[in-house]
Amino acid sequence: MNRSADTWIMTAQCPSWLGTVDVVTRFLKESRCYITEQQSFDDRLAEHFFIRTEFRPLDADFDPEDFHARFAPRAAEFGMTFDLTAPDSRVPVVIMVSKADHCLNDLLYRYRTGQLPIEIRAVVSNHPDLKPLADWHGLPYYHFPVTAETKAEQEARVWGVIEETGVELVILARYMQVLSSELCERLAGRAINIHHSLLPGFKGAKPYHQAYAKGVKLVGATAHYINDDLDEGPIITQGVETVSHVDYPEDLVEKGRDIERLTLARAVAYHVERRVFLNDQRTVVFTR
């Protein structure tokens, strides 16, 4: 479901205190804002509350700065932090890739057709292979080769692009390099990675061929925020696809690519639509 062109998003979180929903909804009513969608969750173990509200101002002269200033004292009473996202907001992103193009292709299509409210400011890669694809879309393409000896220098160049473009989100669309602890820390909560999820787990070269040899019946993908533990950051979305004895290794690879595309796109959409809250090492995700 696409968001209406005139709706704002308000996200907030605070300790689990009585009146958390009321303080949001009452203020919106007093401000003549009509709620079109609302989801909330109270984590009883962490004693923390999360809420996401889409609303449509009924007055043409709605002023977000005034709204923020008037709600801030009420939010402070609950220890609540909150953010507003405008209807026409487009999240600036950098996409990082290696040689595989399926996830990049999918993101570029959704970007070009307006399905994802993002603004792609650059594509960064450790290989030159996908430059023609970025060129066709009129996007800057940065080729930064990397070896074990040049990793620190290469990541400094990557960080330079991230800073220069002023992006909010970095998407690792099958970027086949392990990021350093320093870069993971800098990008905490604003870098999404995608990887296959095969059970039992298969690591190393040709994981789908290993899975075929063991007769697996499910292939899947996991999209998560990066952290210093390889492929173990807070999970945003996961997807699975059934396979059977009639599927050969190349079939598993193709099904894996399909589920990776969809799972990554869904994770990016949830992030840019402000549906994801970090909750320690877990996430709260208000799905559509």
Which are the catalytic amino acids? 231
Cross-strand bridge partners of residue 83 = 11
Maximum alpha-carbon separation in the chain: 64
User: Which pair of tokens denotes residue 274?
Assistant: 């402000």
User: Which pair of tokens denotes residue 21?
Assistant: 């929903």
For residue 246, give the 3-state DSSP assignment.
Answer: coil
d(CA 185, CA 227): 7
d(CA 217, CA 18): 47
Judge contact between 13 and 51, C-beta under 8 A. yes
Dihedrals φ, ψ of 201, to 5°? -75, 140
Judge contact between 94 and 170, C-beta under 8 A. yes
In the β-sheet with 8-15, what is the strand arrangement from edge to edge? 33-43, 48-57, 8-15, 81-85
d(CA 181, CA 158): 14
Cβ neighbors of 278 (< 8 A, separation 6 or more) are 189, 225, 234
DSSP 179: P
d(CA 288, CA 277): 15
Cβ neighbors of 60 (< 8 A, separation 6 or more) are none
